Structure 1
Amino acid sequence: MKIKVLIIDDSALIRSVLKEVINSQPDMEVVGTAPDPLIAREMIKELTPDVLTLDVEMPKMDGLNFLEKLMRLHPLPVVMISAYTEGGSSITFKALELGAVDFVTKPKLDISKNILENSNEITDKIRAAAKAKLKNTASFNITQSHTADAVLPSVSNAIISTEKIIIIGASTGGTEAIKEVLIQMPADCPAIVVTQHMPEAFTKSFAERLNSVCKITVKEAENNERILPGHAYIAPGHSHLLIRRSGVNYMTELSQAPPVNRHRPSVDVLFRSAANFAGKNAIGVILTGMGKDGAQGMLEMKQAGAYNFAQNEASCVVYGMPKEAVAAGGVDEIVVLQDISRKILAYISSQKSKTT
């Protein structure tokens, strides 16, 4: 059975180009297009689509109001369309909070050309949305694939330290999952370093949004800054984020090395750096996401002495990355999303008691 897609966008050009992209795939088809949510509402009843693509600014009813009503009355997987603007970023994150599965950035110029060039990103996200578990989560089209070896080699860590550090990776559905974990963290928790697959236009506003609701300080990571307790550092969308050592301190490092598992930033790269430079003092967390990025890196963390958590299938939007990490043997505990923060803090407390 093909994935049935309904396109909702006030631009006739975007509706036409999206329809061309989707219908070019053997496993999906556009069953209808609508210029506004009111028309879409009737088409949903008639056509029973599997996935909606939804614009955020439309006549008669904006996308957020429609999304809120849809998720309350007739939940369906939704992939949002958003522009590369700070305001658009805020709208996009609100949409994810309301229940959208993922988003695709809408270009300002050469719309038709850009959508066609990013057709794999769009169709991959529609496939993920079709499989997603609905709640009441950017990967780029890169054909060449690398491992974390393209960024840094795996080395044994001879540095002795007791400072704990929490390392988190996520993709589809991860924006809300990361918020769920970070919002429960106390102000004095160990430092947290996060890679979420996301375009660079969104990572700064994502960090700012988290900072506004968390007890800890959340920021977009910069190159060569000291990693401090009570802080979370979000990988910028243009670079891999790594940790390294400078004496007894953890430091950030940004890398423009090739994408790994088709992603930059890559979870495998962050996890590899944690295995190299934190070892047994790292706590790894892999959250909801499509694909396998992070599975090999989490195994390397475990082999270096880290203790690792994976989000369980029932609470994931897409059970891809955690499933692969479990299958690879790198996971110590599989935990429902709402309990991950508590489990991390309990583990850290237990380790402290062993050393006193």
Structure 2
Amino acid sequence: MYRVLVVDDSAFMRQLIKSILEQTGMFSVMVAQTPLIALDRVRKFKFDVITIDYEMPYMNGVELIKKIKEISDSKILMISAYTYPGAHTTFEALSAGAFDYILKPSTQEEIKEFESELIKKVTAACKEYRIPQITKAVTDDIKDFKMSVEDNLIERAKAAKVVGIGISTGGPPVLEKMFKDLKKDFSIPVLVVQHMPPNFTKPFAERLASITSKCIKEAEDWEEIKPGCIYIAKGGYHLAVEGKAGKLYTRVLDLEKIKSHKPSAEILFSSIAEACGKDAIGIVMTGMGSDGSDGILEMRKKGAITIAQSEKTCVVFGMPKAAIEKGAIEFVMSPHEIVGLLNML
């Protein structure tokens, strides 16, 4: 049985999270109403997962995460407010060491969704979560980075009109690092589907732009795709690429969820396959589930370069694994190797 610590100054939230997890029969749950009590619990007991609210007495959630990380290797799930300021604090929590976040419910309908997401994410933290490391190729039939540089990969990559990225759990810190390391004069536009709710994608884009000093923005409908710009899919909408009169444009589409996601990487990759054919790069990265596997397979069938993040560098290997198993991936690389390739273009 997995052990979970719930840290929240709200008695209602403590009991809600405790009851949701305990009814699965998989978790033994302890609670703490203040950060000071939480630190005492962490010193005395070992927990697989710790859920933390942001607004608490004595210290906020980000400060508590940093202190816990000094004394424990427990995985931390942030309980976030569904607000613009809540988004900014969530990204701080992810940078401080939280592996993921979940939105705090405010209605009865949201409680049902919260229950499903909580069980899924805490279970994933216990069973699938890993501390990212550097790895080589996953299988013999997929070329590793050194091999790929020796063939015509660079020439193929230079012809790319866009780079598409699908990413989920563990994504924000990885994207921060990758875009920060991307060379200043990198000219190929990048489109990103990062699974996030509506109020989070704009502050996420603003944070990335501030940290990297690059052109990074939340995508708008019918926006001409410009060289060197990075477009983040808008939460609650799908992001697609459409060609018109020799130019490429972003499309922001209000369609049904795909594989429980909106935005979904399936739409992005499929549209890139249609609009750009072989002249594109598709990258599927850390995340739970299989989003993007069908779309990136379409890209590979059109001759585009398709890359999956390597297993040991993923927080959760679900999305890359699904794409690899479907035969959609040509290369497996670490984020460092992906940036290395892009910086050669």
> TM-score, normalized by length of structure 2?
0.88
Counterpart in the other structure of 1:167 = 164
Structure 2 Cα separation of the partners of residues 328 and 261 of structure 1: 16
Deviation at 1:339, TM superposition (A): 2.0
Q: Secondary structure at the match of 2:211?
A: coil
Deviation at 1:316, TM superposition (A): 0.7
**Would you say 1:8 and 2:12 are equivalent positions?**
no
Structure 2 Cα separation of the partners of residues 117 and 285 of structure 1: 29
Structure 2 Cα separation of the partners of residues 261 and 220 of structure 1: 22
Structure 2 Cα separation of the partners of residues 261 and 307 of structure 1: 24
Counterpart in the other structure of 2:339 = 341
Name which of structure 1's ranges 41-50 and 311-320 shifts more when overlaid on structure 2.
41-50
**Would you say 1:123 and 2:123 are equivalent positions?**
no
Q: Secondary structure at the match of 1:168?
A: strand
Structure 2 Cα separation of the partners of residues 283 and 181 of structure 1: 16
Structure 2 Cα separation of the partners of residues 254 and 193 of structure 1: 12
Q: Secondary structure at the match of 1:38?
A: helix
Structure 2 Cα separation of the partners of residues 117 and 197 of structure 1: 16
Q: Quickly say closer, same or farther: Cα 1:163–1:172, change in 2 above 3 A.
A: closer
Verify the 8 A CA contact 1:76 1:134 in the aligned structure 2.
no
Verify the 8 A CA contact 1:181 1:338 in the aligned structure 2.
yes
Counterpart in the other structure of 1:186 = 183
Give the aligned residue type for 2:119. T
Deviation at 1:135, TM superposition (A): 6.1
Structure 2 Cα separation of the partners of residues 31 and 280 of structure 1: 51
Q: 1:301 aligns with which of 299, 302, 312?
A: 299
Counterpart in the other structure of 1:149 = none
Structure 2 Cα separation of the partners of residues 57 and 134 of structure 1: 27
Counterpart in the other structure of 1:211 = 209
Structure 1 Cα separation of the partners of residues 177 and 203 of structure 2: 17
Deviation at 1:3, TM superposition (A): 2.5
Structure 2 Cα separation of the partners of residues 115 and 30 of structure 1: 21
Counterpart in the other structure of 2:324 = 326
Counterpart in the other structure of 1:21 = 20
Counterpart in the other structure of 2:76 = 78
Verify the 8 A CA contact 1:186 1:215 in the aligned structure 2.
no
Deviation at 1:162, TM superposition (A): 5.2
Name which of structure 1's ranges 201-210 and 58-67 shifts more when overlaid on structure 2.
58-67
Structure 2 Cα separation of the partners of residues 163 and 286 of structure 1: 16
Structure 1 Cα separation of the partners of residues 109 and 14 of structure 2: 14
Deviation at 1:126, TM superposition (A): 0.9
Per chain length, whose mean CA-contact separation is higher, i.e. which structure has more relative contact order (CA < 8 Å, sep 6+)? Answer: 2
Deviation at 1:39, TM superposition (A): 0.8
Q: Secondary structure at the match of 1:54?
A: strand
The count of aligned residue pairs is: 319
**Would you say 1:254 and 2:248 are equivalent positions?**
no
Structure 1 Cα separation of the partners of residues 22 and 230 of structure 2: 41
Structure 2 Cα separation of the partners of residues 50 and 73 of structure 1: 13
> TM-score, normalized by length of structure 1?
0.85
Structure 2 Cα separation of the partners of residues 20 and 328 of structure 1: 38
Structure 1 Cα separation of the partners of residues 75 and 91 of structure 2: 16
Structure 1 Cα separation of the partners of residues 206 and 179 of structure 2: 13
Q: Secondary structure at the match of 2:124?
A: helix
Verify the 8 A CA contact 1:31 1:49 in the aligned structure 2.
no
Structure 2 Cα separation of the partners of residues 275 and 253 of structure 1: 15
What are the equivalent positions in structure 2 for 1:54-133 lying under 5 Å apart?
A: 54-107=52-105, 109-110=106-107, 114-130=110-126, 131-133=128-130
Structure 2 Cα separation of the partners of residues 258 and 3 of structure 1: 35
Structure 1 Cα separation of the partners of residues 75 and 286 of structure 2: 15
Give the aligned residue type for 1:92. T
Deviation at 1:203, TM superposition (A): 0.5
Q: How much is the aligned-residue C-alpha RMSD, in angstroms? A: 1.8
Task: Write the deviation string for residues 261-308 of structure 1: whole angstroms up to 9, x where unpaired.
Answer: 111110111111111111111111111000111111111101111101
Verify the 8 A CA contact 2:102 2:114 in the aligned structure 1.
no
**Would you say 1:225 and 2:223 are equivalent positions?**
yes
Q: Quickly say closer, same or farther: Cα 1:135–1:304, change in 2 above 3 A.
A: closer
Structure 2 Cα separation of the partners of residues 322 and 218 of structure 1: 24
Give the aligned residue type for 2:181. Q
Structure 2 Cα separation of the partners of residues 30 and 278 of structure 1: 51
**Would you say 1:202 and 2:211 are equivalent positions?**
no
Give the aligned residue type for 1:240. H
Structure 2 Cα separation of the partners of residues 162 and 309 of structure 1: 16
